[in-house]
Structure 1
Amino acid sequence: MKIAIIGTRGIPNHYGGFEQCAEYLALGLVKRGFEVIVYNSHNHPYQEKEWNGVQIVHCYDPEDKLGTAGQFIYDLNCILDVRKRNCDVILQLGYTSSSIWGWLLPKKTVVTTNMDGLEWKRTKYSEKVKKFLRYAESLGVKYSDHLISDSIGIQDYLKEKYKATSTYIAYGATLFETPDSSILKEYNLISYQYDMLIARLEPENSIEIILDGVVQANVSRPFLVIGNHETAYGNYLKNKFSSHHQIQFIGGIYNMEVLNNLRYHSNIYFHGHTVGGTNPSLLEAMASNSLICANDNPFNKYILGDDSIYFKESNDVANHLLNVVYHQDQYQLMLHENSKKITSIYDWELITDQYAKHFFDVEGVINR
């Protein structure tokens, strides 16, 4: 079966969650005998036409010149190209900048779309943008033959809002079992003597609330903020917390070995995401034996249950930083239970098998 994956900046991952998904999924599907095409931005760091058996097609992407508008042009270019590829199934990861071109998707190819999270809930967007995102979401449903939800919450939402059925397939992770403390030397860190977060620096990821809690706690150990900070909001945060030297803005890190080790050796890993389905960085933290302090919301609680500590306000963050000790038995039990969830529910091999089954189930079944 021939599968095309569109909707990402490309692989190997140099950006974020959907790119990571495309990377693991493409590799796993090739291993299972699928022919896989992944669409890459023309300026992606990887410029070859094949990567570990995955076909790479580069399409012109003017995002660096036009900003967000460039994403729409890139998605259009990908869709125009995939029309010529005679694929069995197109897997569309997200819909935000591609759904307006949905009418151009090839009619004889099955289109299945991972609907991502509730993008229009993101606080960074104006009301006008949120209105467009709701419209784009409706087009994503309209022009897809099948839908994938990566959380039960999203599945329920699609059912209620659009009367649309979707296949639940979570995001994946791989259990990290080869810690190497020597990586900490590069960052001048000591195992379990620092706290951290990994996120896009955006308001809905609770970055400011978490860092306000760090300031309130006034503990001396380092607090790492990993994510691209060369943005307007990143600059705001750096300016606000510039006098608090324990807060270190590291920037984006995309080397999984480095990320896994930083998570593994941290004291508390903060996960502040409030919007979306099964968030990739949350599963990766679980897989890296991190003691997680998560924003108290249904999306996070569905994944973590009782195997996390939670925060709502900066006071909660400060209290945890002052009182939680990583090696206490109650927290070690949480780590054990989260590792079991990864191996039994969220392992990438299991997730890839679910995608493969989905493709076989939907091949040739077009509802348009």
Structure 2
Amino acid sequence: MRIAFVGHKGVPARYGGVERHVEELGSRLAQRGHSIIIYSRWNYNFFKGRYKNMRIVSLPSIPQKHTEMISHTFLSLLSLLDKEVDVIHIHSVDPALLSFIPRLKAKVVVTSHGQAYRRGKWGPVAKRLSLIAERAFILFPHCRIAVSRTLKRYYEDRYQCRVVYIPNGINILEENGDDTLMHFGLSKNGYFLFVGRIIPTKGCDTLIEAFKLVKTTKKLVLVGGSSYTDSYFNDLKKRADPRVLFLGYRFGRELSQLYANAYCFVMPSEIEGLAITLLEAMAYRQCVIYSDIPENCEVAQGVGIPFRNRDIHSLAEKLTIALENPAMLKELGKKAQDRIKEEYDWDSIVTKTEQIYRGLFR
């Protein structure tokens, strides 16, 4: 089949859960003999040519918070009008605002990775447009996918429509090295770790304030950067105590070693779709301390340590419990990795997606 992926930032994935999802899904479909086109934004990753047997098409966008996604999606869909494709797969709900365009020539699938209008960085006009896009997600695609059971239930209950649950997948990777840690002044088991975009709904302010209440010589490491949220990011840096390190975005072996050698992973997010960084931490056999929102509980309940969402004192209490119980963390980390192997295997996810595509032509 000839399949085009649209709506995400780009591939090769530099950062972002949606982008890593697209890269993994697309490359595995290509290995199975499908012809894959991936559309990327110039300002994310200016890459043209073939990558992991996928054709990468880089196009411009209007690089502003409210226009970047929709302008790039529009140009991508226009580009596809003169190409022979069987399926156009749009990733994220907001680009689905334009999902009526590709219906002119191909089957359309849209995957919801979350609800953008719930994020604090958007103003009232942007949130309203995001809600309109949600209705387009219900009306126009031939098939709708949600990456979490929580999202699936929401759409089906509110709109009385069918949504298929296919989660994010994750690779089980072993990392035995720790040589890159010295560049950051870190040591094995000497830090708590957060990985993700530094935006208000990720709850980093709750994490930093809670860490102030914890008596420990261990450090708190935040890996990630701003996403049109510079003022929030800078405020966090001012509020953080000297034990907190902001490392920016890290990739490849550096990121792998940061995951593998952390004492514990913390996911304080206030809203999620299905957090790939949470899955990655569990895949590295990390115990996870997580906010008790439904999307996180769906993944980590019973194999991690929950705290009350947005509750600084609850999080500080759970960080302290983690410090006092290293054996418990090791046991939970093993259970977390086992859950990833059982429920978030990429081969199974690709097969389910392939079945969706084939079913559109029956």
TM-score per shorter chain, which class?
Answer: over 0.9
Q: In the alignment, residue 193 of structure 1 is paired with which amino acid?
A: G
1:132 is displaced (CA, Å) by 2.1
Partner of 1:189: 186
After TM superposition, give the deviation of residue 44 of structure 1 in Å.
4.2
Q: What is the TM-score of this pair, normalised by structure 2? A: 0.94
1:292 aligned onto 2:288: yes
CA RMSD of aligned residues (A): 1.8
What 5-or-longer segments of structure 1 have no aligned partner?
A: none
Task: Return the offset for 1:131.
Answer: 2.2
Aligned to 2:165: 168
Name the counterpart of 2:108.
111
Residue aligning to 2:71: 73
Alignment partner of 1:356 out of 343, 354, 357: 354
- Structure 1 counterpart SS, 2:205: helix
Aligned residues of 1:11 and 1:46 also touching (Cα < 8 A) = no
Once the two structures are superposed, residues 144-188 of structure 1 have per-residue CA deviations (whole angstroms, 9 ceiling, x without a partner) of 111001111111111111111011100011112132111212212
Partner-residue secondary structure (3-state), 1:9: coil
1:270 aligned onto 2:266: yes
Q: Could you tell me how far 1:263 is from its partner in structure 2?
A: 1.4
Amino acid paired to 1:201: I
CA–CA separation in structure 2 for the residues paired with 1:208 and 1:30: 41
Which residue of 123, 140, 164 corresponds with 1:143?
A: 140
Contact 1:149 1:166 in 2 (8 A): yes
Number of equivalenced pairs: 358
Q: CA deviation at 1:291?
A: 1.5
* Segment drifting more, 43-52 vs 196-205: 43-52
When residues 67 and 304 of structure 1 are mapped into structure 2, their CA distance, relative to the original with a 3 A threshold, is closer
1:16 paired residue number: 16
The whole-number CA distance in structure 1 between the counterparts of 2:319 and 2:112 is 35
Letter aligned with residue 113 of structure 1: V
Identity of aligned residues (%): 20
Structure 1 residue 37 displacement after superposition? 0.5
Aligned match of 1:231: 230
Indicate whether 1:60 and 2:57 are aligned: no
Contact 1:263 1:289 in 2 (8 A): no
CA drift at 1:69: 1.4
Q: Which moved more, 1:317-326 or 1:284-293?
A: 317-326
1:259-314 CA-to-partner distances (Å, cap 9, x unmatched) read 22211111121101232322111111111111100001211111111111112221
Distance in 2 between the 1:28 and 1:257 partners? Answer: 22
Counterpart of 2:154 (choices 153, 157, 160) is: 157
Is the CA contact (8 Å cut-off) linking 2:192 and 2:263 kept in structure 1? yes
Alpha carbons of structure 1 residues 200 and 157: separation in structure 2 relative to 1, 3 Å: same
Asked if structure 1 preserves the Cα contact closer than 8 Å seen for 2:7 and 2:90, the reply is: yes
Instruction: Name segments (4+ residues, structure 1) moved above 6 Å.
Output: none
Tell me which of the two structures has the higher relative contact order, counting C-alpha pairs closer than 8 angstroms and 6 or more residues apart: 1
Equivalent of 2:248, from 229, 251, 258? Answer: 251
